[in-house]
Amino acid sequence: MDPVTVGGLFYNRVFEIAPAARSMFRQPMEEQSKKLLTTLSFIINKLDKLDDIVNEVIKLANRHVDYGVRPEHYAIVGTALLWTLEQGLGTNWNDELKQAWEECYSILSTAMINAAEYTELDAA
């Protein structure tokens, strides 16, 4: 599927789940969609070599803090991502793929939350 189409599905789902999240996005959705898929591809290709991307994950996490992303937002994004994948893959979506993506997202989101520079007050 086209990255803009996938991104549109994903972001529309995020905004359905959490309408207030819309204000965090300042770039056009087309551009945001392309960045999302580029980042996901990069990370997926490095999942077996996470040590190679630690610095990139830290930078990404801290950019997300600057955008206003809170630890609780990661669950919303995970839900929207799995839904988007299910929509896009249709009959190719199965329990094995779902579990693999849940694990992949869990690894990434946990790493980002742990790497993010939230203040102690924010973490409380």
Interval 6-24: pLDDT, tens: 999 999 999 999 999 999 9
In a domain, 56, yes or no: yes
Q: How confident is the model at residue 57 (pLDDT cuts 50, 70, 90)?
A: confident
Q: What is the pLDDT of residue 124?
A: 47
Residue 124 domain flag: no
**Residue 46 phi, psi dihedral angles, 5° rounding:** -115, 5
Cβ–Cβ < 8 Å for 81, 10: yes
- Lookup result for tokens 């995970």: 78
Look up the domain containing 77 and give its range. 3-22+29-118
Give the pTM: 0.84
